[in-house]
């Protein structure tokens, strides 16, 4: 996708009216309103600019399974509803499901997401075509079977070699599913592979009490200690969920630079747990971001709603209204997420990537607008997003995305076929 010079005029940023200019894929100017027009014009009056939101944990094509197996326990949900359907997924299914996910994320202000799922090249095609930024990986399982482990290793290396990273918006990662579906030997191989190639590892960990019980029974220690014994804790590791960690484990995670994605909607819907130690992790020096998880366990990909859930849940279980402020969770969904991924985005400043979102404040959720960030987190949802720019290109303007109706039609067709395989 080629870039245009974009001139956003008279937009509000941190309480003042500014102009923003983009050059290529970067923010070239942020300051006082300019006297002359420069580049493609966007009127920012009545709007506030924020950095594009960063969804740190997703399974994009699970839009296909939205509403499938609701109100079930995690393992029953996986074994009886999700995994049987996923065995029949095709490249086209994942392409259309991921494309719908991209549209849904763009509509609610997300410009970057971390994904792990089957048929990864199909998701990569969807990302390239929609203009988003993503860290992509293929879900890895070996079920403690040596031959399956070798197949998974070969797939990881092959997909890495085949993934076209030239657009600059896609990065490759590895995604071992969990410690109860991937052997220690394969986890160590993945860690070595990630270190050699300087790529991210994302892993579901300490998500449920049953996972902790499994770890204690089979490995003689808790999940984080098990990873430590394998030598896998490192700054390359991004843990999804991390609900069941004690103080000693927090210290280990901090010492090794591990990051965590908090997924409040999924954790609550699957009743995995609620006492996510967000504040304790931050105080220990652990970087924490926010994710939605896939649509079959969170049911939407709206990061504005995810911010609200993260804040309210953190206050409720601690019975403390002062923790997890709106500003704290907003930072987790923007600058903290960017830092975890090592990307020069998540902030609005000259030289940063031009990943920008315009919020329409002429609506009830922002009236009165005493505190914009509080209104965004506590009162609004993704419907307040008017315009989205990623990597210096307009992906949505005036809430219009080209080709959306066709994507919805195709996803409906794919999902209808797949439901025949649900138990």
What's residue 74's pLDDT? 81
The pairing of beta strand 356-360 with beta strand 385-390: antiparallel
Encode pLDDT of 355-369 as tens digits.
Answer: 999 999 999 999 999
Question: Domain 6-51+354-404 carries which CATH code?
Answer: 2.30.40.10
- The pLDDT of 394-420, averaged and rounded, is 94
Which of 421 and 2 is assigned the larger pLDDT? 421
3-state secondary structure of 90: coil
Encode pLDDT of 109-149 as tens digits.
Answer: 999 999 999 999 999 999 999 999 999 999 999 999 999 99
- The pLDDT of 57-77, averaged and rounded, is 90
Encode pLDDT of 314-323 as tens digits.
Answer: 999 999 999 9
Encode pLDDT of 94-109 as tens digits.
Answer: 999 999 999 999 999 9
Taking CB atoms within 8 Å and a gap of at least 24, the contacts of 75-83 are: 75/208, 75/210, 77/270, 77/297, 80/423, 81/422, 81/423, 82/296
What is the pLDDT confidence band of residue 83, given thresholds at 50, 70 and 90? Answer: confident
Encode pLDDT of 284-301 as tens digits.
Answer: 999 999 999 999 999 999
What residue spans define the domains of the chain?
Answer: 6-51+354-404, 53-341
What is the pLDDT confidence band of residue 423, given thresholds at 50, 70 and 90? Answer: low
- The pLDDT of 233-255, averaged and rounded, is 98
Decide: 385 and 48 in contact? Cβ < 8 Å: no
| Homologous superfamily assigned to 53-341 | Metal-dependent hydrolases (3.20.20.140)
- The pLDDT of 151-167, averaged and rounded, is 94
Which of 258 and 87 is assigned the larger pLDDT? 258
The alpha carbon dihedral of 388, 393, 398, 403 has a sign of negative
């Amino acid at each position: 996708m080629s870039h245009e010079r974009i001139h956003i005029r008279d937009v509000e940023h941190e309480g003042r009216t500014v102009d923003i200019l983009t050059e290529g894929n970067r923010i070239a100017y942020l300051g006082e309103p300019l006297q002359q027009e420069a580049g493609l014009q966007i009127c920012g009056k009545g709007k506030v600019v924020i950095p594009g939101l960063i969804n740190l944990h997703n399974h994009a094509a699970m839009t296909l399974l939205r509403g499938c197996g609701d109100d079930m326990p995690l393992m029953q949900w996986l074994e009886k509803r999700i995994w049987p359907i996923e065995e029949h997924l095709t490249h086209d299914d994942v392409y259309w499901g991921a494309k719908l996910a991209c549209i849904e994320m763009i509509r609610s202000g997300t410009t970057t997401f971390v994904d792990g799922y089957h048929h990864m090249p199909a998701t990569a095609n969807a990302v390239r075509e929609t203009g988003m930024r993503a860290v992509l990986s293929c879900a890895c399982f070996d079920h403690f079977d040596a031959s399956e482990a070798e197949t998974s290793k070969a797939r990881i290396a092959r997909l890495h070699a085949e993934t076209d990273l030239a657009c600059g918006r896609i990065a490759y990662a590895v995604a071992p599913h969990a410690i109860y579906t991937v052997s220690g030997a394969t986890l160590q191989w993945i860690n070595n592979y990630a270190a050699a190639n300087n790529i991210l590892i994302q892993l579901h960990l300490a998500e449920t009490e049953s996972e902790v019980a499994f770890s204690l029974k089979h490995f003689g220690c808790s999940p984080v200690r098990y990873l430590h014994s394998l030598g896998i804790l490192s700054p390359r590791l991004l843990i999804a969920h991390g609900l069941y960690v004690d103080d000693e484990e927090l210290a280990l995670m901090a010492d090794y630079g591990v990051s965590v994605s908090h997924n409040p909607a999924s954790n609550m819907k699957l009743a995995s747990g609620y006492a996510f130690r967000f504040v304790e992790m931050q105080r220990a020096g652990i970087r924490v971001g926010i994710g939605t998880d896939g649509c079959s366990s969170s049911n939407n990909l709206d990061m504005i709603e995810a911010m609200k859930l993260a804040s309210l849940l953190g206050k409720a279980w601690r019975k403390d209204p002062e923790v997890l402020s709106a500003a704290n969770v907003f930072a987790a969904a923007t600058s903290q997420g960017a830092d975890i991924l090592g990307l020069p985005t998540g902030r609005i400043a000259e030289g940063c990537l031009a990943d920008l979102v315009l919020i329409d404040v002429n609506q009830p959720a922002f009236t009165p607008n005493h505190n914009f960030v509080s209104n965004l987190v506590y009162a609004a949802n993704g419907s307040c997003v008017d315009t989205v720019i990623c990597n210096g290109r307009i992906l949505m303007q005036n809430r219009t995305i080209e080709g959306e109706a066709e994507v919805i039609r195709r996803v409906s067709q794919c999902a209808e076929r797949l439901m025949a395989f649900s138990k």
